[in-house]
Amino acid sequence: MSMAAPLTYTLEKRDNDNFTLNLGPQHPGTHGVLRVVLQMDGEYILHADPVLGYGHRMQEKIAENMTYLQCLPYVCRMDYLGAMSYNLAWVCAVERLCGFEVPERAEHIRVIATELNRMASHLLWWGAYLLDLGAFTPFLQAFTDREQILDILEYLTGSRLTYCYFRFGGLPDEVDDVFLERTMSFVNGFRKRLKNYHDLVTGNVIFHHRSKDVGVILPFDAAAYGLTGPILRGSGFAYDVRKQEPYAAYERFDFIVPTETSGDCLARYNVRMEEFVQSMNIIEQAVNTIPEGPVRSKVPKTIKPPRGEVAMAVETPRGELVIYIVSDGSKKPYRVKFRVPSFANLSVFARLARGQLLADALAILGSLDMVIPEVDR
């Protein structure tokens, strides 16, 4: 296979400064293996064309050849930063298809683990986004807190990054009070740390110059591209799957959906910073009201769902994930479609990057918070 750019990008002799620039696939600012072919005029971008597929790992074909339980490790390796929410989506989709019930204690633990994972993912986003903008200190601070969350989740699940924790019908094992105490002590400590983060970055004048009015997503484009998640909420839409189609005990907890109206990088930043606070509120409520009881309901050993189809939507740290399963009654799915949020979020990048400076385009990529293996599946 050739490494040359496609034929549409031939360099013609012109009397101006236009040239073709290749960003990636190995680039520290593209958050994975993303290649963007840029037509540049000096330092301004005329046309951006993302080239995908450098991380394509055949997830949908794999899902057709594995049993429902064997798919669980593959599902969490698509978006490794929000792996708990992907696990939750897969497990809830199969439970919806088969009609399994989940005990209340298991649902509370699921919510706590997913919200901790959301905070870890946003911490990494915060560190990486500011690293893209050129600031090195926030990366170190974010990773210090992130390691604490990873320790708590390692105590619960056994792994640091790619968890396969939930099972059909609940959790694999009993959960003791040590996990809940460690979670609460982390949450109480992090509330104070979040003030440090705001002092360090949020009011910084250089940060404002680089993110205010940069990469504005208009409300008209949101529905056309199918945007979801914090980037949609930065443009004024209060759409959150946890409120719209509640799953796994989220309707029992009180939380708001933070929105901003300006639609620029600063708005998306503010939405994610406020989501930290909301996640901590949810975790606190879940820990304070957790009931005693079993953590797994009785399900058959081999899952053989009835014929039919199911769609399950879940709010990952990046947006709305929809898993669509077509089952033919056997123990392997017939067709699985993962509608990943970063796919739609990246498709608006070509529109946003037009006319921007190259440095601003990288800031926009950072604020879109994508995980490229999720886009490539």
Partner 1 sequence: MGTGSTLPPVVHFGCLEQIFNLARANSLWPLTFGLACCAIEMMSAAGPRFDLDRFGAGVFRATPRQADVMIVAGTVTAKMAPTVVRLYNQMPAPKWVIAMGNCAISGGPFKLDFNYNVIEGVERLIPVDVHVPGCPPRPEALVEAFLKLEEKLTSDRRFPHPPEIPRRS
Partner 2 sequence: MQGSNRLEKALAEAGIEYRPTEFPNTGLHCSLSLGPDLVRPLATALRSNGFFIETVTAVDLLQENRFEGIYLFNHYDDPLRLLVRVPVERSRPVLPSIGGIFPGAVWHERETAEMFGITFQDCPDSRNLLLPEDADYHPLRKDFTGRS
Binding to partner 2 by residue 99, rule CB under 8 A?
yes
* Least Cβ distance, residue 335 to partner 2 (angstroms): 5
- 28 preceded by cis ω (within 30°)? no
* Residue 262 main-chain phi, psi, to 5 deg: -80, -20
* 21, 46, 178, 224: residue in contact with partner 2 (rule CB under 8 A): 224
CB 276 within 8 A of CB 122: yes
Subset of 299-358 contacting partner 2 (CB under 8 A): 308-313, 320, 322, 324, 326, 334-335, 337, 339, 343-344, 347-348, 351
111, interface contact from partner 2, partner 1, none, CB < 5-8 Å by kind: none
d(CA 263, CA 236): 7
d(CA 287, CA 56): 39
Binding to partner 2 by residue 56, rule CB under 8 A?
yes
- Which residues are registered as beta bridge partners of 45? 40
d(CA 178, CA 175): 8
Other Cβ atoms less than 10 A from the Cβ of 311: the count is 14
Stretch that binds partner 1, among 69-77, 105-113, 236-244, 341-349 (CB under 8 A): 69-77
Q: Count how many Cα atoms sit within 13 Å of the Cα of residue 345 in the half-sphere of its side chain.
A: 30
Binding to partner 1 by residue 54, rule CB under 8 A?
yes
Contacts of 75 (CB under 8 A, 6+ apart): 59, 63, 86, 87, 89, 90, 338
* Least Cβ distance, residue 21 to partner 2 (angstroms): 19
* Least Cβ distance, residue 14 to partner 1 (angstroms): 28
CB 165 within 8 A of CB 171: yes
* 9, 80, 225, 237: residue in contact with partner 1 (rule CB under 8 A): 80
Angle at 267 between CA 266 and CA 270, to 5 degrees: 85
* Least Cβ distance, residue 53 to partner 2 (angstroms): 4
* 19, 57, 178, 306: residue in contact with partner 1 (rule CB under 8 A): 57
Binding to partner 2 by residue 223, rule CB under 8 A?
yes
d(CA 312, CA 320): 10
Stretch that binds partner 1, among 84-92, 137-145, 197-205, 299-307 (CB under 8 A): 137-145
* 17, 41, 60, 199: residue in contact with partner 2 (rule CB under 8 A): 60
* Least Cβ distance, residue 328 to partner 2 (angstroms): 9
Residue type, 87: N
- Which of the 8 DSSP states describes residue 200? I
* Residue 255 main-chain phi, psi, to 5 deg: -155, 155
CB 371 within 8 A of CB 365: no
d(CA 147, CA 159): 12
304, interface contact from partner 2, partner 1, none, CB < 5-8 Å by kind: none
Nearer Cβ to partner 2, position 38 or 133? 38
Residue ranges in contact with partner 2 by CB under 8 A: 1-2, 6, 52-53, 56, 58, 60-61, 64, 93, 96, 99, 221-227, 232, 237, 239, 244-245, 308-313, 320, 322, 324, 326, 334-335, 337, 339, 343-344, 347-348, 351, 376-377
Residue ranges in contact with partner 1 by CB under 8 A: 1, 3, 25-28, 32-33, 53-58, 61-62, 65, 73-74, 77, 80-81, 124, 139-140, 143-144, 146-147, 160-162, 373
